[in-house]
Structure 1
């Protein structure tokens, strides 16, 4: 079992930590995998986190672990969180912000990105509150396009804002774990980039299951399907999804593991 909190990690009134029961589906192997991950970990709705705070938190998490980014997030809120966060960060001195978020790594680059994003949001929306309303009330594709137009915001960051702040159905953010696992299992082509993996998953999985599918797949990657030593190397009984996995790039018979993109093609 995981240390996933009983309360919705995104907080707020929209998600509210409410667990939803979903009926198992049989429309696709991808859905069957998500159903099994939901049984093992959690099934819940997401949404309600303030959009700008979610954006900042996702920037802090880039290229580092939650253990490293969480103290940086807490320190940032302690120093700049009183009043309007976007306005406060737009006016922040970059060296001071960099020192505040140092535990997250790449603090000079991240501090510059956060200040730039804050300035743009204040200029375009006036405040963090108005930006939050835009994210939650505007058509998702339009919000995603707007976010991707911001320097320093990539597809995963945009999708995390849509999911954790907007609570949008049908959004499946793709991080390193999801990208690896989806291709290893054969849910996406072995050479698919992050965007192609996202498109495959969102097409195959019901919208209401994408949110917990994303977080549960990350947990599964940490516990079972790691990059170098997936559990299936220890035998089929070691992995709870072994019967649903194509094991692309994983060769239990000789213990070899390569990125799915490097796996040879096999023809009948």
Structure 2
């Protein structure tokens, strides 16, 4: 596995899914937290992150719009993908018309299913990889219209279907990977126990020793989901991303400035981080102990 890519200088200061405006139905109060004392180190880490940033319950977003939003965010930052998302909704209808086939309205899925690819690519160009993403969005929109009669039917499936069935169905859609499927399950379906793994989560979980150093994204997801209560997965995911932006960056984690610089240093194995030399490598590249 190659070393981590350089940190993105254009990432916004705050995770788009966190903070007071980042979706989420409500802030979880201490009385709603499950166990007063964490039973695993992963749970203790998530509890600390929740206290530092936010404890929110997610769910309720329109499933198809969430799917599109996550595709736009692939391999780019929120700073780039958010304008693309806004432009797409402005041109193709968005939240102003989600009625779909039920009452004859066009609906976002129907509008995108019949969109000209070059026009859509131009609309979402801020997100990067716009030719590939526009092709994927048009193809998925057509499938949503054909199989679910529009986004209303798809939304019902995501919110009421069995989580395993929903995830398997999403993963069978070309262009939808595990992180995209899990984001739809979390932010639209509001499913507990879903911890999407992006580059920040993948790096931090292995660096801290919450997952094996050579674990892939799916293995990291399985390790974390098995170690924390379902209700803590949502805010654990978004808060860990924020922690990755502020402290546990790819090239220069805060611990290199001394143990007092990182609030989670006592819970971290610092796999791949050498405080003395300042060298930082991917955890998977750390030589195994003899």
The two structures have a TM-score, normalised by structure 1, of: 0.95
Q: 1:183 aligns with which of 185, 206, 219?
A: 206
User: 1:265 deviation in Å?
Assistant: 1.9
Match of 1:265 in 2: 288
Cα RMSD (Å) of the superposition? Answer: 1.4
Deviation for aligned residue 1:2: 5.2
Aligned match of 2:28: 19
Unaligned runs of 5+ in 2: 1-12, 98-106
The C-alpha deviation readout for 1:10-32, integer Å capped at 9, x for no partner, is 3xxxx533434325432100000
**Cα 1:253–1:24 shift into 2, 3 Å:** farther
2:110 aligned with 1:101, yes or no? no
Partners of 1:6 and 1:235 lie apart in 2 by: 31
The aligned residue for residue 179 of structure 2 is: 156
- Total equivalences in the alignment: 262
Shift of residue 233, structure 1, vs aligned partner: 0.4
Please give the per-residue CA displacement for 1:55-89, whole angstroms capped at 9, x wherever unaligned.
Answer: 00000000000000000000000011243111110
Q: Is 1:130 aligned with 2:142?
A: no
Asked whether the 8 Å contact 2:25–2:56 carries over to 1, the reply is no
For 1:103-152, what per-residue CA distance to the aligned partner results, in whole angstroms no more than 9, with x for missing partners?
Answer: 00010000000000000111100010110000000000000000000000
Matches within 5 A, 1:99-248: 99-248=122-271
**Aligned position for 2:90:** 78
- 1:215 Cα shift? 0.2
Residues 1:6 and 2:30 aligned together: no
User: Cα deviations across residues 211-264 of structure 1 (Å, max 9, x unaligned)?
Assistant: 000000000000000011000000000000000000000010111100000012
In 2, the alpha carbon distance for the partners of 1:146 and 1:69 equals 25
Distance in structure 2 (CA, Å) of the matches to 1:5 and 1:262: 34
- Alpha-carbon displacement from aligned partner over 1:154-206 (angstroms, at most 9, x marks no partner): 00000000000000000000000000000000011000000000000000010
Question: Do the aligned residues in 2 keep the contact of 1:24 with 1:32 (CA within 8 Å)?
Answer: no
The aligned residue for residue 102 of structure 2 is none
Which of residues 34, 45, 52 is equivalent to 2:57?
Answer: 45
Greater relative contact order structure (CA < 8 Å, 6+ sep): 2
Alignment check: 8 A CA contact 2:60 2:189 kept = yes
Equivalent-residue separation in structure 2 for 1:199 and 1:5 (angstroms): 26
